[in-house]
């Protein structure tokens, strides 16, 4: 990873831990997020990363973000998409606009940024793309319809990109976390009985941490994963086994 040029889209939750892992492995890292305060906090905590304010809810914003990051880095070897939102409510209580918002943020941005990053990597003849998916892309969790649909879509998007770009030296994979405690999920987990009920579903007997995800992501971004592509790696303590 030493000297690799990496862009991480999303500076919250798991995305906040990934830049440090890539930097420790020797990569030069740009982190993009719409929240400038979050970027400033992350840059203060992780020396050497470059923050990039970007709105990824439009194709133009996504292309601009990838292009600016590549310009800052002098190229692009690694792209990690860690953008995602969730809103837990039943299907019959999900407004049309909420559906559109979740799809635009989670899935549309994955397509637009991945397409832009892939174009640069295919031309260069090498590259690593990793998407943050979720066990919700496989399991039928109640009250997760828009989120689950977008994560299932990310899984298939990853597989099609991997199929199309494999001969160009570009790998595309996804990491699907199980129930993971982050700053973004803590409020939900702290509700009465939620943490205990979710932990009971995990054979490992605990919830995941962001550090549980960093190693697998860094591996998929590395030279050691050059023959791994189109794979959805479940990092879930065995949740998808039961």
- Planar angle of CA 30, 221, 159, nearest 5 degrees: 110
Check the CA dihedral 123-128-133-138 and report its sign: positive
| Cβ atoms 241, 203 nearer than 8 A | yes
Q: Are strands 50-53 and 28-33 parallel, antiparallel or unpaired?
A: parallel
- Find the radius of gyration of the CA atoms of the chain: 17
Pair of tokens at residue 48: 């050497």
The residues assigned a catalytic role are 147
Cα 228 to its chain centre, rounded Å, is: 17
């Amino acid at each position: 990873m030493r000297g690799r040029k990496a862009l991480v889209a999303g500076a919250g939750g798991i995305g906040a831990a990934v830049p440090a892992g890539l930097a420790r492995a020797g990569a030069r890292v740009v982190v993009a997020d719409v929240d400038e305060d979050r970027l400033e906090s992350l840059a203060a905590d992780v020396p050497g990363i470059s923050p990039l304010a970007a709105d990824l809810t439009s194709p133009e914003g996504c292309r601009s973000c990838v292009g600016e990051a590549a310009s800052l880095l002098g190229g692009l070897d690694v792209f990690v998409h860690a953008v995602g939102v969730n809103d837990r409510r039943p299907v019959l209580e999900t407004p049309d606009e909420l559906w559109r918002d979740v799809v635009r943020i989670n899935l549309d941005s994955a397509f637009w940024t991945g397409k832009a990053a892939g174009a640069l990597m295919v031309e260069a003849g090498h590259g690593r793309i990793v998407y943050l998916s979720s066990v919700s892309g496989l399991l039928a969790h109640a009250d997760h319809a828009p989120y689950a649909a977008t994560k299932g879509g990310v899984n298939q998007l990853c597989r099609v990109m991997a199929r199309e770009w494999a001969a160009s030296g570009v790998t595309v994979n996804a990491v699907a976390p199980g129930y993971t405690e982050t700053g973004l999920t803590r409020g939900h987990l702290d509700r009465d009985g939620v943490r205990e009920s979710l932990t009971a579903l995990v054979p490992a007997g605990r919830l995941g941490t962001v550090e549980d995800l960093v190693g697998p992501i860094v591996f998929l971004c590395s030279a050691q994963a050059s023959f791994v592509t189109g794979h959805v790696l479940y990092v879930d303590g065995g949740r998808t086994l039961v």
